[in-house]
Amino acid sequence: MRDYKADLRKFIDDNYIIGLNGPAFADADSFMDRRIIDSTGFLELVMFLEETWGVVVADDEMVPENLDSLDQLQAYLTSKLGA
């Protein structure tokens, strides 16, 4: 199984964590609960997923169960890409 977390973490660090000493977060931490990504940020995250891995994120797939942590994103991409 391919590990997408490193690429995802880099994208989140580069785009949402302000300053060099931004909040560290674990793979299972909720982006919403930790206030790492807001609603606009999730749209940018979806665009990143679509552009980077060529997936189409349907409206009904834009739910916290798929997008709200690195672990959930890993599972979502694995299921979408059949890896």
Q: Are 17 and 46 in contact (CB under 8 A)?
A: no
All structural domains of the chain with their residue ranges: 5-81
The pLDDT tens digits for 1-58 are 789 999 999 999 999 886 555 558 899 999 999 999 999 999 999 999 999 999 999 9
pLDDT value, residue 19: 59
Instruction: Label residue 80 exposed, middle or buried (CB < 10 Å: 0-12, 13-18, 19+).
Output: middle
**Domain 5-81 CATH assignment equals 1.10.1200.10:** yes
Q: For residue 13, which phi and psi values (nearest 5 degrees)?
A: -60, -45
Show the tokens assigned to 66.
């798929």
| pTM for this predicted structure | 0.90
